[in-house]
């Protein structure tokens, strides 16, 4: 196209030499550009099928729909034509649940500072919650782990990631130290559940010490993340055995 635009001003051999284009290649591609597009009707039909189906069809379903309309093209041709026309199925990316809701209130210091060792029980507790996908739908697990031996002090499970999920877990944990002088540091991420009044008032009334990870820094709560990894592995193993 550049050669055709300039060949009225410059000699053809000079243009080909500057562009590094072989004479045979120039005439071959020029002839191809002059040939009418044999797929012009198919392009229009593909666009119509995509719009009539709310842009939900990929090239395989477009190929099947063309066959029903007796427009016979290979899947590769359909995919190429869709790419050339900029046609693609509209996709929605699955968004994983995130509990961060911005700065609800001031965050406490990171007292744990990635030191997950404890000399005695009820010195350092870690908490977080995670989402699992099972055949019945989504479920959320909220455990509280003792750094001394890695045992789960308390836990709750539910179908909604709400304040009740974590508050129920915390209430059960507080009961385990109610008759002792233990006042553990409770470390969490910066999720909204650990910054709402219900959580803060429970921590204050039980005289527990709050600690929080830095924003978006999962290694700051790595010991708790490790428990989730083990749970996921066991779920996958059980699913394989039971045929979920």
* Residue span of the structural domain in which 68 resides: 2-85
Distance, CA of 237 to CA of 235 (rounded, Å): 5
- The DSSP element (H or E) to which 141 belongs, if any, is strand 137-146
**In 3D, which of 130, 137, 197 has the Cα closest to residue 165?**
130
Other CB atoms within 10 Å distance of the CB of residue 40? 8
Is 134 or 14 the better-scoring residue by pLDDT? 14
- The whole-number average pLDDT for the span 123-134 is 86
Within a domain: 45: yes
Q: Would you say 208 and 148 are in contact if contact means Cβ atoms under 8 Å apart?
A: no
- In the three-class reduction of DSSP (H, G, I as helix; E, B as strand; rest coil), residue 199 is classed as helix
Distance of CA 13 to the CA centre of its chain: 55
Q: Would you say 186 and 209 are in contact if contact means Cβ atoms under 8 Å apart?
A: yes
Strand partners, 188: 212
Q: Would you say 186 and 127 are in contact if contact means Cβ atoms under 8 Å apart?
A: yes
The radius of gyration of the chain from alpha carbons, rounded to an integer in Å, stands at: 31
Query: Where among 85, 103, 133 does a domain terminate?
Result: 85
- In the three-class reduction of DSSP (H, G, I as helix; E, B as strand; rest coil), residue 209 is classed as strand
> Same structural domain for residues 73 and 167?
no
The whole-chain average pLDDT of the chain stands at 84
> Same structural domain for residues 236 and 138?
yes
The tokens describing 149, both together, are 């031996």
pLDDT tens-digit profile of 78-90? Answer: 999 999 888 888 7
- The whole-number average pLDDT for the span 236-241 is 54
At 11 the pLDDT is: 92
Tell me the pTM: 0.54
Within a domain: 137: yes
Query: Where among 85, 113, 143 does a domain terminate?
Result: 85
At 88 the pLDDT is: 86
How many domains does the chain divide into? 2
At 7 the pLDDT is: 86
Pairing between strand 130-134 and 137-146?
antiparallel
The tokens describing 203, both together, are 């921590």
């Amino acid at each position: 196209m550049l050669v055709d635009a300039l060949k009225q001003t410059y000699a053809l051999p000079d243009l080909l030499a500057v562009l590094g284009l072989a004479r045979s290649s120039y005439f071959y591609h020029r002839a191809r550009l002059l040939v009418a597009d044999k797929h012009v009707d198919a392009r229009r039909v593909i666009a119509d099928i995509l719009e009539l189906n709310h842009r939900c069809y990929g090239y395989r379903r477009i190929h099947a729909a063309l066959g029903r309309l007796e427009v016979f093209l290979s899947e590769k041709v359909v995919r190429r034509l869709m790419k050339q026309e900029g046609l693609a199925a509209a996709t929605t990316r699955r968004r994983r649940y995130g509990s961060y809701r911005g700065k609800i209130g001031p965050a406490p210091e990171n007292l744990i500072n990635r030191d997950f060792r404890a000399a005695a029980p009820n010195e350092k507790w870690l908490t977080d919650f995670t989402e699992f996908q099972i055949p019945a739908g989504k479920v959320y697990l909220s455990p509280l782990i003792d750094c001394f031996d890695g045992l789960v002090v308390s836990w709750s499970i539910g179908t909604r990631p709400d304040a009740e999920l974590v508050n129920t877990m915390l209430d059960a944990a507080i009961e385990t130290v109610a008759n002792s002088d233990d006042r553990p540091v409770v470390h969490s991420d910066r999720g909204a559940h650990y910054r709402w009044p219900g959580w803060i008032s429970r921590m204050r009334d039980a005289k527990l010490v709050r600690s929080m990870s830095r924003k978006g820094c999962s290694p700051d709560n790595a010991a708790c993340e490790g428990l989730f990894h083990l749970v996921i592995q066991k779920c996958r193993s059980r699913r394989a055995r039971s045929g979920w």
